[in-house]
Amino acid sequence: MNLYPWLKLAHLFFIISWFAGLFYLPRIYVNLAQTDPETEPAAYHRLLGMAERLYKFMSPWGWGAVVCGAAIPFVTGWWGNGWVHVKLTIGLALLGYQFYCGRLLQAFIRQRNTRSHKWYRVFNEIPVLLMMAALYLVMFKPF
């Protein structure tokens, strides 16, 4: 039995689900940074609840994406290719990004956010750039 198609299917499923959260969670942070918890407590807590649920939803998908992505080179014989190591590093960087999103979420929960909505708009672009790099590596296998 060839495991590659099954791992690829699972990897793509996990990636799509995970990136939905990676793209949307910082957008919620933009709105949280623009909402004053003292003057708009209902809006702030509604956004905070959305962020907490989304973070819990996306966490297992990230682990599944990295595990399946790390297994693929072993079943395909690609492990010796340099692009695979860079792609796995990107996957680990995205996990780090998610963990940092968790720290930012804790700051919002404690009402100790120190970042502006503009900072979160820029922060939101990081997974886009990392995804583009990973897609380039997979499509062109440059080294």
Fill in the amino acid letter for 109. I
Q: Would you state the structure tokens that stand for residue 116, as one six-digit string?
A: 């502006």
| Number of C-beta neighbours around residue 30 at 10 A | 19
**How many helices (H) and strands (E) would you count in the chain?**
5, 0
Q: 4 CB contacts (<8 Å, ≥6 apart)?
A: 72, 75, 76
Nearest Cα residue to 30 out of 115, 102, 127: 115
* Binding residue ranges: 11, 87
Q: Which residues are annotated as a binding site for heme?
A: 11, 87
